[in-house]
Structure 1
C-alpha cells in the first residue's frame, strides 16, 4: 500500500499512489565522524557537500517516467535532464542542509519545477519547516511541496502549516494511521502558511 499522503484541491488529505521515482545516489565510502561543540553531529550542516563527485557520476537515472533528483545531481547533470524537465518529468529534492536560495539560483522561474521534495535524513531540528515556509512565502512556490525521509505521524500537522501539501510517510510506519494527525488540532492559535492567527479571525468590535 502507498505511504504517500497528498492534499487534494479541496485541502482534504488522501492516500494516493506515488507517480514519482526517487533517484538515490550510491552510498559513499566510510565517512569521518563530525563533531560540533564536542558532540557527534548526526545530520549535515548548512553548506556541507551533499554527495561526492563519484557518487554523482555513478548515480543511475531511470530513462523514463517522472523522477525526483537531488539538487546536486541536477546541478551537475542538468544537460541530460533538461529535455525531461521541459516535459515536467523532473522534480527536485532539497535536503535540509541546503538552502532555498541555492534552489532558486538554478531556475529562472521556481514554479517551472512541478514538485519540490524536502528530504530529512534524520529528524533533529526544524529546518524542514523553515524551508517549507520560505519556499511558499519568500520564494512564492505554488506547486507540490513534499516532505520525504524521516517523516512521522506527529509532524504532519506542522508540515501542513509550513506549506507542505504532500507527505511520504516513513516506510516502517502506516500512512493510514498518519492521516488522522492532520486533524490533531482544530483551531491553532498561531499564524502560519496555511492560515491567519485565530485572534485575527475574531471580530472584536
Structure 2
C-alpha cells in the first residue's frame, strides 16, 4: 500500500476519534497498516487479519479477497491446517490471551521451522507485554501488537535487553556453547 493511502486511512481514523495503532515490527515502532476483522475501520482496509475459523467457514469468499490477507491463530488452532495455504498469507498473527498460555510460542517455532513461513509473524493479545518480547523474538516473531497500556519504546528496549540465552535458537548463541567454546 502506498504512503499516501496509508496517510489517508490514518487521517480518517484520526477524524473518527480513533488513534492509529503502533506496533513493534522488525525492531522499529511503526503505525500498523493491518486491521483485524471486526474493528471499526476494517471495512476499508487493504490489509486484513482474519481468524482461522472465519477463513474456514467462508473460504470461497476469502479466496476472492484482493487485498493483503493475514490469518489469526488461537492458541488451540493446529498450525498444520495452514500448510496448503501458507504462501497466501502475508501475515500470521498468533494470539496470546493470558500470561499462562504458552502454546503460541510453539506455534511461532512451527510456522518458521516446519512450514517455512517467511512473512510477518505477529504476537497479539493481552499477554503480549515487554517481559515476553525477547522470548517471542527467539521463537520467530518479528512483530508485536502490544497489550493495552504497554509502552512501545520500553518494549522495544526489551528486545535488546539480553544478548545471551540459555536455550539454543538463532541468531543468539546459547550461553552453554559460549562457555564451552571459551574452555577449549
1:14–1:6: structure 2 CA closer, same or farther, 3 Å change rule? same
User: Alignment RMSD, CA only?
Assistant: 2.3
- Which residue of 133, 147, 160 corresponds with 2:123? 147
Structure number with higher relative contact order (C-alpha < 8 Å, ≥ 6 residues apart): 1
Deviation at 1:203, TM superposition (A): 7.0
Deviation at 1:155, TM superposition (A): 0.3
Counterpart for residue 66 of structure 1: 47
Q: Say whether residues 1:126 and 2:102 are aligned partners.
A: yes
Cα distance in structure 1, aligned partners of 2:165 and 2:152: 23
Counterpart for residue 73 of structure 2: 94
Q: Number of residues paired by the alignment? A: 161
Which structure has greater helix proportion?
2
**C-alpha contact (below 8 Å) 1:3/1:170 kept by paired residues:** no
1:105-128: per-residue Cα shift (whole Å, max 9, x none)?
Answer: 5x2xx2331000001222323111
- Helix, strand or coil at the partner of 1:121: coil
Q: So what's the TM-score if we normalise by structure 1?
A: 0.70
**C-alpha contact (below 8 Å) 1:4/1:175 kept by paired residues:** yes
1:40-75: per-residue Cα shift (whole Å, max 9, x none)?
Answer: xxxxxxxxxxxxxxxxxxxx9625421100001111
Cα distance in structure 2, aligned partners of 1:125 and 1:195: 24
Q: So what's the TM-score if we normalise by structure 2?
A: 0.77
**C-alpha contact (below 8 Å) 1:20/1:67 kept by paired residues:** yes
**C-alpha contact (below 8 Å) 2:35/2:45 kept by paired residues:** no
Cα distance in structure 1, aligned partners of 2:104 and 2:122: 10
1:203–1:138: structure 2 CA closer, same or farther, 3 Å change rule? farther
Structure 1 outlier segments of 4+, above 3 Å: 193-196, 198-205
